[in-house]
Structure 1
Amino acid sequence: MEYILFQKDDFTEKNYIARHEEGSKDDYDITIKGRATISHGGRELTIVNVSVEDVGLYGCRISYFEEHQNQYYHKASQKVFLDVKVPPPEWRSAPILRRYNQVTDTIYDGDIVNLTCRVPGGNPLSQLTWSGCPNGSQTDLSSSTEAVVQLQFVASSSHHGSVCTCTALQKYASPQERSSNVTLLIAHPPTLDIMASPALPWFATGGNATVNATLNCTATGGYPPATLSWVCKENSTQNGTEGPSLLSVFPYVGVDDDKMVCVCEARNSYTAVKGRVFKTIQLDAEYHPQLELTALPGNMIKEHDSVRLMCSGHGNPSNITYRWEHGEWSMAGSNQTILNLNRTDTGNYSCTGASNSSRYGQLITVQYLPITVNYLDVQIAILETNLTEGDNVTLECQTEGVPSLYDFKDWNFQSYLMNDTQLLNGTRGKILHMENINYMESGTYTCVVNNTALVRHGSKLLPILHSPKLHPYRQASQQVVAPVNGNVTLSLYIVANPEPKPADFVWTKVKPDNASRNVSELASSAGLVSNLTIGNVRESDYGEYCCEVANGIGEKLKVCFNVSAQGPPLAPTGLHEIPGRTTAISTQVQWVSAFSGGLTQVFVVEYKDEAGEIWETSASDINDTGEGKNVTHKIDNLTPATAYNIRVKAKNSYNGGSYSVYSDVISIAMKGILFYNLLNENLSL
C-alpha cells in the first residue's frame, strides 16, 4: 500500500497541498482545491489558473508499506521551484506617490522632504526610478509584496516649480512602463531690491531741495507672491498689495530724513513661519549746516567785560568750517573770546558754517547772534553859574546807557572841608534843588543811578563864592602860651572862594601897641593858611595879634590871637547832665575842655546835697581830651530821690599847681526806688 504527497515550501510529513492514496479519494489543500488535479496514478499534479500565490518550492513524497517486513518506506523527490510571472494588480494606478500633496501640503525653503514611490504586487516586483527631482538620497524600502523607493532631499527655492517623476517598469504588464509625477511648490521669500530716485544723496534744504523723491522696492521671485510694505518713520507704514514693487514717496525731503533707515518688508506664508524678510536703505540727505549760537556768560555783557562766542552745528556733509564776523572783525574757528568789550561792540555777530558737497557744491549757512554791551554814563550838570551864598541852585543827573531805563537812587555829598561822604536823605530823583545855599554846602555832589544792568555814579564839584571864614574843623587855639626865649607860631586856617592872595593876609599887633618887631615880616601865607612865627620870645612880644583877610567877596575876616606866658587854665564850659544816664544812685555829666594855660591839665568834679553846704570830690584827676573837646565823668554812690549840685574846675602845674575858676553849677535829681512790703502796699522813697 502506498500514498503520494505533493508539498509546497514546508516539507514536513503533515504538510501537503495534495495527497493520493491507493484505493482512496484524492485530498487537496483548500487554497488550491478546484485548480488542481492528480493523474497518472498519483504521479502527476496539474494546477490551473496559476496565480502569484502559487509561487514557491514544490516536491513529492512517496510512502509505501512492506508487509513481509511490516514497516513503511519513504522516498522524496527533488524540489522544483515554481515561479509565476504576473503584473501588479493595480497597474493602471501605478506608481503611487506618497508624503506630499501639493494642494494641502506646504514645503518651505530649507525643509527636509521625503517622497515615497510604491507599486504593490506583481511578480517580479516593479523597478522604480526617480527623475527630474532635486538631488538627494534614495532608499529602497521594498518588501516581498511591494516595491517601495524613498527620495529624501533638502528643499530649496531653486526647486520651486520643478516636476519630480517616479517611473515603474514591469515587463509582464501592459504597458510595461508607467509614471507618476508631482510639481514641487516651495514656499520661499522673494529677493528684494531698493532703488532711490533720484539717486542718493538727496538735498534737504535751500531753493533746490529735492521734491517728490521715491524709493522703489522690487520683489523678484518668492512663493506665494509676497505683500510688500514700507516703514520709514515711527508709526508711519505704507502697506502694499501683492505685486512686484511698491513705491514710497517723499514729497519734500527734510533734514530729519537724513540717516533715516527705511525698511521694505515682504510677507508671505514663508515669512509667517520662518521669520521676517526685509531689506533696508539708509537715506543720505545732504543739507546746509544747522547752527546753534551761544554766548557766555550771556548776550547782555557789561562794558569792559569779556564774552565767549560759541558756534556749533551739524550737517551733511559733516566737515563744517566756521567763521565769526562783526563789522571789520573776522576770525576763523567755532569758538572766539572777545576781551574788554566797549559799547561800540554792540551788534549782530554772524557765524558762517560751510561744508562742501560733491554733488551740490558749497553749502553755506549764516546765523546771527545779537550781543548787547550794557553801559551807563552818569554826569551832573549845574544849571546855574557864579553861585554865591544865599543863591538857589539846581543839579541835574544826566544819564546815557543801555538799557535806557534808569532808577535814580541816591544823592551823596562830600564837603570840601572834610573827607567823609554823607547821604542826602530824601533826595532820590534826577533833580537836586537847594535854596539859600551857604559855603558849607560847597563840595562834591554824587548821583547814583541803576539801569538794571549796572550801577554807576557821576560826581560834580559845586563851587560857592563866599568871603573868608574860619575853617570849622582845623582852626588852632586862639589862646597861645609861649615861654620867654621860646618860639611860637600863630596859625590861621580859613575857607574862602576864591582863595585870597598871600598879600591879602594882614597881621598886626593890637594890644599892647608896643611891638618891637615888624609883624608883617614875621608872617607867611599860602592858599588858605597864614602863619605868624615869633622866635626868641621877649616880654614885649606878649599881647594880642590880629589877622585880617579879604578875597573881594563880602566882608573881611578878622581873627585875633592872645599870646601870653604860661598860667592857670581857663574854666571848663558847657557842663550838663547826659540825658538818660541818671539812675537812683548815679549820674553822668559832660563838659567842654577850655584853654589849659599852656600846661597839661586835669579836671576836678565836686558835688553836694542841694540842701547841704559841704562839697565832696568825686574825682580829682580826670584826663583832658583836648581843647574844645567833650569830657565825660560818672558819679556813683549817690542817694536815691535826692537833688545834687555839681561843678567842675581845671588844674595845671603852673606855679606848683593852679586851678581855674569853677564852671557853672548844675542841679540833678536822683530817681526814687519802689519797694514792696509783705502786704503788697507800695512805698516810694
Structure 2
Amino acid sequence: MLIAPLIVLICIGASSAHDPLFREEPKNQTVLLGHDVILRCVAEPSQSGETLRSQWKSSDGSLLGFRDEGVLAGYRGRYSYLRDGPDEKHLRIESVTLDDDGMFECQMMRPGIRGFRSSAYLTVVVPPSEMMLLNYRAGEVIQVNEGTTLNISCGATNAKPAVVLNWYVNGKVTTEGVHRWSKHNLNRTVTSYAALLWKPSRIDHKTVLTCEASHPPSEHHYRVNISLDVLYPSNAPRISIISGSSSAQAGDNVTMVCSTSGGNPPPNVTWFLNDRAIGTNFYYDYSTQETRNVYSMIVEADDNGAVYECRSRNRIGSEPLKDSIRLSIAYAPLGVDVHGESATRYGRPVLVHCRSRLSNPASRIKWLINGQPVRSSDESQHEQPSGTITISNLTINPSDTIVNRHHINVECIAENERGRSSKQHTIRILAPPMEPRIYGMDGEALLEGEMLNLTCEAHGGNPLATLSWFRGVDKLKETRSTASGDTSQSTVSFILDRTMNNQQVRCEAENGALDEPLVATKTITVLFPPRRVVVRQDERTRRQMIAGEPTQLICIVPSSNPAAEISWQFSSSDHPVTLRGENKLNKTSRENGGFEVENVLEFTPTLDMDGSDVKCIASHPLWSDQKVTPFPLNIFYAPQMTVDGPVTIVVDEGDSFKENLTVRANPAIATWKWRKNGIPFENTVGAIFARGAVLSGRSVSGFDSGLYTLIAANSIGSVNVSLRLTVKYAARVTHITSPVMAASGEEVVMECEVDGVPRINGMVKWLRGDTVIDTVSFDGQTRAVLRLNASQETSGAYTCVADNGVGKPNRTTAYLLVSRAPSITRHASLLRAAGPLGGRARLRCRAHAVPDATFHWSIQSDSGPIRYNNTKYSFYEVQLDHSTFESVLWISGLDQLDYQRTVKCVAMNRLGEDVVQITVGPPTAPDVPVDLRVANSSRSSLTLVWVPGFDGGSEQVFQVRYQIPGENVYHTINSTSPKVEIRGLNVAQLYEVAVRAVNARGAASDYSRPSLSAYTRDENDVDISAVSQKKDSFPRSLMVTFCIGGALLLIINCLLLCYMQRHQRKKKLQEKTEMVRKTNSTGGDVRPVQMYGALTNTESAYRPDSANTNRSELAYEPPSEDDQSEVNPNGYVQQVDRSAFYDPECLVEYGFNHVVRQNRLRGDGPTYANMPYPEPPTVDRVSMGTHSVGYPESGTLTRATDVGPLGSSRRIHIPRVIEASTANNYQGGLNNNGASQIMSTFMQPGGVHTAPLDYSHIDGDLV
C-alpha cells in the first residue's frame, strides 16, 4: 500500500526556493563526531485536515520509511523519528559517524496536493586523532653537532577538515625552512604534515622547537615539542707552571696547570707523559665554563728531558686539542760500574773498564790503584735522553805494581757539579794447592740404605783449592765445602744403593793456577736384598690348581748381595705355616754384581686355600729387612653353599620378596636349575621368578607356597639347596551352615570353618549384629560351632568373621529361620492392580513365612481357587529371600466384571495361613510416592529414598525435582528405583525436593507434598541443619486467589470431559458390538482384540517339552500368530510386524526356574524395554545388584541393567545417562493425558495399526 506514494515522493523534484508548504525547512548543520543531532522538518497545517505522509532520505540515498516515530531499522539503532505534532517529522541521529556526512532530504505529501521536499547538509567535524613527531619522541632532548642540518617533521592524523600546522622556535613562530603537505584518507579525513629544516649553532644550545596543530571547527589545539642539545668543541688547552720552573734540580717540587674554556659537553682534560695518561682529576667551573687539571710532583733524575702533554677532548672519536712542555733537571751521577778480570796469574796484564751512570751535566772519571791516583787517556761521553754517560778504560800490569797479600785494589770515581760517585775493584794473584786426600771409609762393606759420609782436604794455593766429588762419571752436587787458614775441605753424604756396589768415588782439587785438577779415589762395597722376588707355577704342571691334587711353585730371586735364603709361608686363619723348598740354582748375577737364587716348593692345595696367598720370603742375617712376594691361590672346587638348607621365607599374600642364595664355586657356576616341589621350571612359576641364585616373587598368593630347590653346577661338580616359601594370606570362610530352619524351641547348631595362613587362636568368631557371641565352641583354630535355642528372638542373620591379622577380616552371613505362619505384606502398591479392558493386569501377593509359603488364588463369586494356568489366569511363585515369597497372578482379557470382583490371595504353610483381598481396576495415574527422606548427604550431594506407591497398572519411573528456594527454575532427574543421589550441588546450600511417579502410559502422579527441605554439608563436612518440611512461602491472599481460579478451571474442564466421555463411550460401544458380532459369525478362529488400549503382546507362561528344545529357544520364544495380529474394524485379519510388540534388542533374558514348576520360564531381572507391562524393580532386587543407579564424576545419572545368565554368552549392559547438572528446567506439571517427554512410548514405530496413531487412541479408556 506504501509503494505508490513512495514512488510519487521520489519522482517529485525539490524546489530551490522556500516552499510555502513548509513551515520549517531542514537547516544545514555541523556536528562533532560522536555527538547527537536533530534535523527538523515541519509542514504547514492542512486546512482541510488531509493526512500528512512524510519520510526522510539519508545521506547514502536510502529512504527511511513512513514510520510515525521511534527507532528506525538499520543504522545500528542510531536513527529515529521524532514528532511533536501531526505536521512534524524530525530526524534524530545519535553518535554521528563519518558515514552520516552528506545531504539529508525531508519528503512530504498530502492527498490531492503535490509532494514537496527540502534538503539540508550534515557536516561531520573530526578533530585529529593523534599529534606526533615522525622521527622523534615528543618531549625528548636530541643531540646534534654544531653546523649539522636538522630535519624534523610533525603530523596530525585523521582530521576533518584539515588542521593548520605551525613551527615555533623558543615560542616564536618561524616560516623559514618550513614545508607543509597533506594526505587524504578514504574515510574523508585528512592527515597533515609540516617539516622544519634547522641548522643549529652553539648559541642554539637548549633551544625548544614546538609544532602546533590548530583545528578551528573543533576549537582544539595540539602541541608537541623537542629540545636541542648542540655539541661543539672547546678552545685549545694552555699549560702554565705555578710552582718551580721548567729547569729545576732533582728533589724540587714542580706544579703545572692545564686549562681550557668552552665546549659542550665540557671537555676531558688529561695529562700525558710519554703518551701514557697520568691519573689526575680535572674539574669544570660552570660560572667561567673553564676546565682545569693541576699536576704536582717532586722531580727526580728520571724527569730530565721528560715531555708532559695536556690533551682536551669532549667527544669520543674526535681529535684532541694538545699543548706540551719539556723539563730539564740537574743531578749528580747515579753511580759507577767497573768491569774487568778479578784474578790473574803473576806477570799477565789486566784491562779494567769504568762506566759512569746518567748525570746532568756530564761526569768526569778519575782512577786510584792501591790508593794512588793514575792517569788514563781513554775517556768518552755519550748523550742519553735523560742525561750523559762517561766511559774510561785502564790497563794494569801486576809486575809493575806493588802486590799486597796477593791482591791489587782499583777504584773508579765519577763526579760533576751536583756531586760524585765511586766503586772499587779487586784483582787476585793466583797459586796452585797440594795433593788432596779422602777420609771416612777404610774398605768395609756397608748396607744398602745406609748414609756414607766422606771428607776431602787440600792445603795451600791462592785462591784455596775448589774441591769436587764424582761417583763414576756423575758429579755429586750435594756437597758442603769450607776453608780454614790455608786448607780447603769438602764433605759429601749420600745414601748407598745397590747400583753403587763396586763403584769408585773420587775427589778433584782445582784453582786458577792449575790447568788439570788434582785427584784422590776410593772403591765402595754395598750389601743389598733383592728388589723383586718372582713366584710362578711349574711349567710341567697344569695351570689350574684343584683341591686335593699336588702342585709345584717356583720362587726366583734375580739379584742380591750376599745370596738370599728362601722360605715359604701359607696364610691361615689360625696360624701361618712356614715351609722350606729346595734350591735349584745359586750363581753370580749380572745385575748390580749380586747373586741369583731359584727355589722349588711342592704341596697339595685344599678348599680353604682358595683366595688366600702363599708368600715367598727372601732374607739374610746381614740385611735389615726381608723381601716378601705373595702368590694368590686360585683353587678350583665344586659349588658350596654358605648356609645349611632348607631356608625358610614367610611373606604376606600380595607382597613381594627377594632372596639371594650365596653359592661359592670356582670356576663360576655354569648352570642354574630350579624345582618347585620336585618339578623343574624355567625362570617363572606362578608369581615366582628365578634368576640364577636369586628367587623373588611379586604379588604372591597362597598357590606360590612350596619347597623350591636350587641345583648349581660348574666344571668341577654340583650342589643343591632347598628353600621353603610360606605365603601368609587373609583368613576366609570356606564353609558355613546356612540357612538353618528350625521350630521354636529346638536347639540349632551352626558351624563356620575358615582357612588362612598363619593360623592363630581366635581367627574365627560368630557375631550377632556387631556383638561377638562368647558362647561358641571351637574345634581347633579354624572351626567355630554356635549352638542356639531357636525362637523368634534368635532368628535372623548371624555373621561369621575370619581374621588372622592378615588383610581385612572376611565376613559371611548365615541365617537362622524359625518356623512361623505366613504374614502377607499389605503395602498400598500390592493391594491394587490395574489393566485396560481386553488387556492384562498383574496382581502380586507377598508373604513372610518359614518354611516356604504356598499361595492360592481365588476370584470372588467363583466356586473354587485357580488351580491351573489357562488363557484367562496364569500365575507363578518366586522366592525373594530366605523367608520372603511372592506369587504373581496375571489376568488376561480384562472386562468390566473383572473390575467388579475382588481377588483373594491365601498364603499358607504347615503352621498357618494369611488372607488378603486385592482389587482390579482400569489403568490410573500412579500414586504419589511417600516417605521422601534424606538417606545421606555430603558437601556436594544428597542421597534421597522414598516408598513407591501404586503404579497405576504399568511400569513407573520417578521424577525428582529440586530447586534452591527463591529461584524460579526447577531441575529434574529420573530414576527407575526408589533411591537416587544428586551430585554437583553447592556447599552448605538449602534445597527443596519433591518426587512423583510417571508410568509407562504417560500418566503422572502429583509431586509429593510438602516439599522436603535438605541442606548439603558445609566445608567442614558438618550437617548444618536437620531436614525440615518446606514451609509455604506464598502470601495467603495469593494462595486463595490461585485456589479460586483453579477451582473454576477444574469445573469447566470436568463439564467438557463429561460431555466428551459420554460421546466417546457411545461410539466405542458400537464398534465393539460390531467386532464381537463379526467374530462370533466366523466361528472363533480369530480372537477379539481390544483396539482402544495399549498395543501389547500376550505372554505365554508354558511351553511343551521337546527333545529338540535348546536353551536359546527357551530364552527367545516367538509369539503365536494370534499375538502378532489385530482385527481390523472392517472384519479381516491383518498381519502385524512383531517389532511393534517388542524390541529384538530388549534387555531381558529368561532363565529356567526349577523351583516353581518344570518347563516354567522366569525373568532373572525386571525389564525396561518395550515389552507389555514390564515389572518394575523392587528394592530388594536393586540391593542384590541386578540394577544400579549411580552418578559418575561428570554428574550424570547412569542406570544399568545386567541381566542374569541362562547359558547364554550374551551379556547386556546398556546404560541410560541423564545429565543431572544440565537437567531440564521445569516450569509446570505433566499432563496426565499425554506422554511424558522423558519416557519412550510402549509402541514401536514399525507396527501396523488399524487406526491413526495418536496418544489419545493408544492410551484411551476402555468401553
Q: TM-score, normalised by structure 2?
A: 0.26
Give the number of the structure whose alpha-carbon radius of gyration is greater: 1
| Higher RCO (C-alpha 8 Å, min separation 6) | 1
